[in-house]
Amino acid sequence: MNALWHGFADMGAVERDGAFVIARGDGAYVFDRAGNRYLDATAGLWFANVGHGRGEIADAVAAQLRRIAHYSNFGDITEPATQELAERLAGLAPVPGSKIFFTSGGSDSVDTAAKLARRYWHELGRPGKTILVGRRMAYHGMPAARTVAWDDAKALLALIEEVGAERIAAFFCEPVIGAGGVYPPPEGYLAEVRRICRDHDILFVADEVVTGFGRIGGAWFASSRFALEPDLMTTAKGLTSGYLPMGAVFAAPQVAEPFFAGGVWWRHGYTYGGHAGAAAAALANLDIVEREGLLDAALRLESSLHDQLSVLAAHPRVAEVRSGLGAVAAIQLADPAEGPALVKALRAHGISGRAAGQGAMQVSPAFVMTDEQVAELVDGFSRALNDV
């Protein structure tokens, strides 16, 4: 039973200690094969926004799979669920009139945005604009890319001066850096980099794979909460709450226009982009978010995590706690090498957790997590930190 090669893993350690097998989930909890219960600190990999075990999504998917699982979204072909989802997402988009390009997940969404940005400038007769700019600590490592400091808008200006705006296609920006270790933006940073991009004809790409679909709290997207009006917005994860893999790129009307004007064939797409079963999962997931007021629940979690996790900052093993924007936080270990041991200690105290970035213990719960469960999380973390 050891054929599985895990992602982001020291497989030697997995071979030695065995795998942690999650067999079932219910709301903010998951269960192993023996039936032991764990509070899910991370909502899987940042995605289970509506919580685990939602039969309603399973039923919607089953009904769709019985009609047809998937066919294609290439050329003029599509499926009703996919069309319905695109219309619904366009209605939620931070820029009215956006067009929706479906993918199979977050990496595909970023890949699509990168290709789309370059092709856009090519269509506008500016083929020299090919360089993609990302921020250090962020998720992105792309070809023909440059990086700038994650927290300093002037660093972006300096790079533009160095290489020339005429060579830069797009700037990729996670509104809150997630997998790099949870870094909320400095005050005013997002508005400033947005303005710099607009002033220099550089496409602003909001990577909302983590922050999208409510995780930012109080809005569907960080781009809406901060009025960023992104030229392109990449999403995945919370689109289906992870019930099936799916991503979507939102293209603002001015970016989509050259592709919709006629005569442009964009040879890009994914076999499972717009998968009808995944679209059915997304529609059922969005119904739950709306019906249960989960955008507000994420805003409640924003303050609840900020208030309750702060006590952990005093622990000698903790360097700092980063929180305060969205239903997302990190407990930064003073010694990142202690991450794997802490993950094991957390399990002994009924918490399923993981280290992101460099020893940043990820906290990104399902929006259904109650304030009492946040207290349970903090208690488990304190005990586990004492054990390491």
111 scored as a contact of ligand PLP (CB under 6 A): no
Do residues 378 and 313 make contact, with C-beta atoms less than 8 angstroms apart?
no
Only one of the segments 29-37, 90-98, 204-212, 286-294 lies at the binding site for ligand PLP (rule: CB under 6 A); that segment is 204-212
107 scored as a contact of ligand PLP (CB under 6 A): yes
Q: Which is nearer to ligand PLP, 73 or 364 (CB)?
A: 364
For residues 240 and 253, give the distance between their C-alpha atoms in angstroms, rounded to a whole number.
Answer: 24
Only one of the segments 125-133, 202-210, 217-225, 260-268 lies at the binding site for ligand PLP (rule: CB under 6 A); that segment is 202-210
210 scored as a contact of ligand PLP (CB under 6 A): yes
Strand locations in the chain (E): 22-26, 29-32, 37-40, 99-103, 131-135, 145-148, 168-173, 203-207, 232-235, 247-251, 318-322, 329-333, 351-352, 355-356, 360-363
* Closest approach of ligand PLP to the CB of residue 113, in Å: 10
Site size with ligand PLP, rule: CB under 6 A:
12
For residues 371 and 267, give the distance between their C-alpha atoms in angstroms, rounded to a whole number.
Answer: 48
Q: Which is nearer to ligand PLP, 353 or 380 (CB)?
A: 353
* SS3 call for 29: strand
* Closest approach of ligand PLP to the CB of residue 111, in Å: 9
For residues 118 and 374, give the distance between their C-alpha atoms in angstroms, rounded to a whole number.
Answer: 44
Please list every residue from 215 through 274 that binds ligand PLP, using CB under 6 A. Answer: 236
For residues 11 and 160, give the distance between their C-alpha atoms in angstroms, rounded to a whole number.
Answer: 42
For residues 81 and 71, give the distance between their C-alpha atoms in angstroms, rounded to a whole number.
Answer: 12
* SS3 call for 204: strand
179 scored as a contact of ligand PLP (CB under 6 A): yes
Long-range pairs, 149-154, Cβ under 8 A, ≥24: 150/177, 150/180, 150/183, 151/183, 151/185, 151/186, 151/189, 152/189, 153/189, 153/192, 153/193, 153/196
Q: Residues with Cβ < 8 Å from 319, sequence gap 6 or more?
A: 332, 333, 334
209 scored as a contact of ligand PLP (CB under 6 A): yes
Q: Which is nearer to ligand PLP, 98 or 235 (CB)?
A: 235
* Closest approach of ligand PLP to the CB of residue 176, in Å: 9
Q: Which is nearer to ligand PLP, 234 or 373 (CB)?
A: 234
Only one of the segments 74-82, 207-215, 274-282, 358-366 lies at the binding site for ligand PLP (rule: CB under 6 A); that segment is 207-215
Please list every residue from 124 through 163 that binds ligand PLP, using CB under 6 A. Answer: 139
Which one among 28, 30, 89, 110 touches ligand PLP, defined by CB under 6 A?
110
Closest residue to ligand PLP, judged by C-beta, is: 106
* Closest approach of ligand PLP to the CB of residue 207, in Å: 5
Q: Residues with Cβ < 8 Å from 342, sequence gap 6 or more?
A: 317, 333, 353, 355, 361, 384, 385, 388
363 scored as a contact of ligand PLP (CB under 6 A): no
333 scored as a contact of ligand PLP (CB under 6 A): no
Do residues 385 and 315 make contact, with C-beta atoms less than 8 angstroms apart?
yes
Please list every residue from 159 through 178 that binds ligand PLP, using CB under 6 A. Answer: 174, 178
281 scored as a contact of ligand PLP (CB under 6 A): no
357 scored as a contact of ligand PLP (CB under 6 A): no
The residue ranges that bind ligand PLP (CB under 6 A) are 105-107, 110, 139, 174, 178-179, 207, 209-210, 236
